[in-house]
Amino acid sequence: DIVMTQTPLSSPVTLGQPASISCRSSQSLVHSDGNTYLTWLQQRPGQPPRLLIYKISDRFSGVPDRFSGSGAGTHFTLKISRVEAEDVGVYYCMQGTQFPYTFGQGTKLEIK
């Protein structure tokens, strides 16, 4: 199985400042079809997960443009350009390249 490792596990951020979360996979996430199926999800307190970013950097419908994804191969990053209060929650990376799909441990974003 592909192991997904996120850092940091907790990220205190000042409102209006940027935030960055790293995700590494134990093997390349490049699929045989040439795509890289790396997803970022947000889970606000008490809510189900919400899709933010798919295929490394494609923003899902309705997701603010302050969220961006980047990376390649085994190393990926989620960036929030200016953190807002509604961004508080846990962020997960997930690989959809190979079954079983696997998630990172989650990164808790909190306001300082």
Partner 1 sequence: EVQLLESGGGLVQPGGSLRLSCAASGFTFSNSAMTWVRQAPGKGLEWVSALSGSGGSTYYADSVKGRFTISRDNSNNTLYLQMNSLRAEDTAVYYCAKGYYGSGTYDYWGLGTLVTVSS
Residue 99 engages partner 1 in binding (rule: CB under 8 A): yes
Residue 103 engages partner 1 in binding (rule: CB under 8 A): yes
In this chain, which of 74, 89, 92, 109 binds partner 1, going by CB under 8 A?
92
Residue 100 engages partner 1 in binding (rule: CB under 8 A): yes
Please state the φ and ψ torsions of residue 16, each to the nearest 5 degrees.
Answer: 90, -10
Q: Are 104 and 6 in contact (CB under 8 A)?
A: yes
Under DSSP, the state recorded for 101 is P
Q: How far is the CB of 92 from partner 1 (least distance, A)?
A: 6
State the binding string over 3-42 for partner 1 (x if CB under 8 A, else -): ----------------------------x---x-x-x-x-
The amino acid that residue 102 corresponds to is T
Selection from 43, 26, 30 nearest residue 96 by Cα: 30
